[in-house]
Structure 1
């Protein structure tokens, strides 16, 4: 059955809370860890040996920005396999450079680098803050700390139309090096040092450190405006990082809703670095997931050398990443027979050149999950004369040889600092992924 109105609203509000708690991949993993722990999942360390038994619930993090959680099934994985959902924790944004001090014409500014496919213009005239990870050293030991200033701290001001008369007719043209440098303070107000600001922020979290203790950081800019709902009937969601925290939330929520173990082992993996190619120690092109699946197979199979390969043949991965809804003002940019609508349900994404991993069999698998969940799916294929973006799906399928389908909830304004989706699609995707876990 489809979700009730109250369940739909609750799922949508929970997604917005998840997003607001996750201004960076570091915070997304921390929030996912908090939710998992509250539901009886225990944290395991890759550096330690594991003692696993059927029904165990656990999670593993890598690099502070990727996380995988599993609920072990009752049947050994070489006979029942894995039911997996994959998504990613990162979104396009601006990140602080190692030597960030910059300034011109009487302003203190921060040097930033573009991460992923940022839609530049949407970052102008926004109340921006900083969040991320700070690494300190005390007595020869490194420690990691989450920071979030949670207040407007930076701004990238637009150039007035009086000084750019053709902007509305010829478009806004921005150079990343010259035009995306945020303003931090006026020079005449005094000297500003980023590490000094970080020391103050750490102190608010009872972490005592000096500027000299800070040896590294990974800091992201983000919009301080909270996520919200809109529309005449409250049907729309406006939020940053919907791509792809909405899919991360769906995969995680569906897993947490399943209290009892099934035959197959269920798992969700949320990777970092999808937006810049997935090539990292914790990205989809890394051995992160394969390492975990091999360890689980070793502990939860008949122990034969071919157990992992047999487990993969019984397994299935849903690669969940947001999909392009048809844009009412640019409908011609969409393939005429494949125009997903906001609120129209999960989208099955296909590309014969393997930018998506979907084929006829995996398409049918997800369509059957939709049918069993009482949800009608949509389909997306990009125009034949346009290039197609990709996901973790083909990377994971190629690494593991696992059956994979690429899906996502429809959205508008993808890669904007503030994106748009439909409230009804949140609960619908969760219900279908829950069905996938149960097969």
Structure 2
């Protein structure tokens, strides 16, 4: 039996983290502080023994590689990898419009969402704007109780009785939150002009500056304990910050490692891992090349292949738990349940395992033995019935490089919604699994 107080303490720390980790940039900033507190330093500032390093590298503020090097890197690594991006609404480059004397933001949804989830809930805005002078301006509005929020009002049921498909009824181009309703003294688009005046007075930005901005609309809701027994945590962004948090906490708790170990956190997983902060990018390989050079390796490219082929990877990502009203989408014999521990997922993908990393039996067997010997509570899971749907993770991109990889993380209910649910017990078992696997793989 686990100590309930230990689980509750870990859950409390996670709740505090999730209050602040609403975007990729904010998440990386929090993790950097955690790493520094435990003695990790930026790789570019390291001047010590290259065979005894606690270093990290941040890529464009949205991805991170933290690594504890023990002896020769060519012996391989144990890694936990995860992603830190979550479904959301992004502002378009020219977002501000006025219709019927109401100012609105035009948005483009990011990742897989059910569009109706985002109607009539309070939204906060986070991100950065770069002005025409090159100045960086951070915007965070909607989280403080005294802040205003944004909202996308739905049509009332009295005027919404036509039978339409979900795609027809909830259109992406209508996901436009209200920004303001008070006009200025201008004759044309007076409400929009008043919003621009406020933005300029508060942040020093112009309408044109919004072209060079990354502004994300996310739920303006704090994480909460769910259920009269307080056994669950409800929050925006469990997918996949729950795995990234567990991974970093595990990294900082490793006691008896067998080889070098680390955590890699990627961006852009929710849109196919495209771009130079994603799992398809080369930033983490560049880090490894640099360390190999620092260790005096002459043929770095051959050595890099050697490192990766001797590397074991846990792809930390969440899984769809059995939701009682919708259990028909699962193969119950292979479906994960909340409160039954971390989920080992041999493969994801869809339509005949297309787009998946199908972990090798030898590696899955090794993982099973470590989990059992370490006393970690775990279960097996798959993403729904065959041909019911499907999805993927970053696992296949690490496997492409030669590493042994398997997916593992907690089950969620309401995945990709603005308020996902995770079990406190599963959260803690995920941390324990990652810690033991970083030590013993």
Same fold (TM over 0.5): yes
CA separation in 1, counterparts of 2:59 and 2:229?
A: 41
Task: Give, in angstroms, the shift of residue 371 of structure 1.
Answer: 1.4
CA separation in 2, counterparts of 1:223 and 1:52?
A: 45
Q: Tell me whether 1:359 sits opposite 2:354 in the alignment.
A: no
**Match for residue 350 of structure 2?**
none
Specify whether residues 98 and 168 from structure 1 end up closer, same or farther in structure 2 by C-alpha distance, changes over 3 A only.
Answer: closer
Check conservation: 2:280, 2:397, Cα contact below 8 A. Answer: yes
Task: Give, in angstroms, the shift of residue 367 of structure 1.
Answer: 1.9
Aligned with 1:133: secondary structure?
A: strand
1:256-313: CA deviation from partner (whole Å, max 9, x where unpaired): 113x573411111111100001110110011122222222233347545532222222
Aligned with 2:128: secondary structure?
A: strand
Residue 242 of structure 2 is aligned with which of 225, 246, 252?
246
Once structures 1 and 2 are overlaid, which stretch shifts more, 427-436 or 9-18? Answer: 9-18
**Match for residue 205 of structure 1?**
none
Task: Give, in angstroms, the shift of residue 385 of structure 1.
Answer: 2.5
**Match for residue 185 of structure 1?**
180
CA separation in 2, counterparts of 1:106 and 1:296?
A: 58
Mapping for residues 131-146 of structure 1, pairs under 5 Å: 131-136=126-131, 138=133, 142-146=134-138
Mapping for residues 2-401 of structure 1, pairs under 5 Å: 3-45=2-44, 53-73=50-70, 75-79=71-75, 81-136=76-131, 138=133, 142-149=134-141, 150=143, 151-165=147-161, 173-177=169-173, 179-188=174-183, 191-192=191-192, 197-199=198-200, 202=203, 209-211=204-206, 214=209, 216-258=212-254, 262-300=257-295, 303-305=298-300, 306-351=302-347, 352-353=353-354, 355-381=356-382, 382-398=384-400, 400-401=401-402
Specify whether residues 195 and 369 from structure 1 end up closer, same or farther in structure 2 by C-alpha distance, changes over 3 A only.
Answer: farther
Aligned with 2:105: secondary structure?
A: strand
Specify whether residues 390 and 50 from structure 1 end up closer, same or farther in structure 2 by C-alpha distance, changes over 3 A only.
Answer: farther
1:327-381: CA deviation from partner (whole Å, max 9, x where unpaired): 1001110013112111111111133545244231232233223213312321122
CA separation in 2, counterparts of 1:50 and 1:357?
A: 40
Check conservation: 2:344, 2:379, Cα contact below 8 A. Answer: yes
Check conservation: 1:369, 1:436, Cα contact below 8 A. Answer: yes
Check conservation: 2:225, 2:234, Cα contact below 8 A. Answer: yes
Check conservation: 1:152, 1:224, Cα contact below 8 A. Answer: no
Aligned with 1:378: secondary structure?
A: strand
1:222-267: CA deviation from partner (whole Å, max 9, x where unpaired): 1111001021211011100010110110111100113x57341111
Once structures 1 and 2 are overlaid, which stretch shifts more, 310-319 or 109-118? Answer: 310-319
CA separation in 2, counterparts of 1:195 and 1:15?
A: 37
Check conservation: 2:345, 2:380, Cα contact below 8 A. Answer: yes
Aligned with 1:326: secondary structure?
A: coil
Task: Give, in angstroms, the shift of residue 52 of structure 1.
Answer: 5.1
Tell me the matched-pair count. Answer: 422
Check conservation: 2:101, 2:191, Cα contact below 8 A. Answer: no
Q: Tell me whether 1:402 sits opposite 2:398 in the alignment.
A: no
CA separation in 1, counterparts of 2:166 and 2:90?
A: 29
1:130-172: CA deviation from partner (whole Å, max 9, x where unpaired): 101222454xxx4544331133431001111100125799898
Specify whether residues 300 and 386 from structure 1 end up closer, same or farther in structure 2 by C-alpha distance, changes over 3 A only.
Answer: farther
Mapping for residues 407-426 of structure 1, pairs under 5 Å: 407-426=408-427
Check conservation: 1:84, 1:437, Cα contact below 8 A. Answer: yes
Task: Give, in angstroms, the shift of residue 64 of structure 1.
Answer: 1.2
Gaps spanning 5+ residues in structure 2: where? 185-189, 348-352
